[in-house]
Amino acid sequence: DTAVSQTPKYLVTQMGNDKSIKCEQNLGHDTMYWYKQDSKKFLKIMFSYNNKELIINETVPNRFSPKSPDKAHLNLHINSLELGDSAVYFCASSQEGSETGANVLTFGAGSRLTVL
């Protein structure tokens, strides 16, 4: 019944490795996102994706690549992991064109990545 689910919840890996985080939403939302929350707790958008378009944040290194096999899934692949990639990564989804225009985000539980 989980609305937005992401796996794994915890990921510990060595520098230089490649890893993926998976995300699935069963809300029927059109738009999905990846956010990074660092130790200072700022939430920073990395990518947003709807059926038609992937929007890439220019500040995200190209070692990060989102992959969306369908509108219910948005996975995050990270190549050549660095120490600074350690953070909590949140997947989220939203539905555009809601009645209130609020476009509220529903977040997954987060994936804590630790790079050693």
The tokens for 98 are 């809601």
Of 71 and 112, nearer to another protein (C-beta) is 112
* Minimum distance of another protein from residue 20's CB (angstroms): 20
The tokens for 82 are 């660095």
* Minimum distance of another protein from residue 102's CB (angstroms): 4
* Minimum distance of another protein from residue 40's CB (angstroms): 6
Of 12 and 104, nearer to another protein (C-beta) is 104
CB burial of 80-93 (b: ≥16 within 10 Å; e: otherwise) equals ebeeebbbbbbbbb
Of 72 and 105, nearer to another protein (C-beta) is 105
* Minimum distance of another protein from residue 41's CB (angstroms): 5
CA dist 33 and 97 (Å) reads: 17
Of 1 and 14, nearer to another protein (C-beta) is 1
CA dist 92 and 103 (Å) reads: 12
* Chain positions contacting another protein, by CB under 8 A: 4, 40-45, 90, 100-110
Quickly count: other Cβ atoms within 10 Å of residue 115's Cβ. Answer: 19
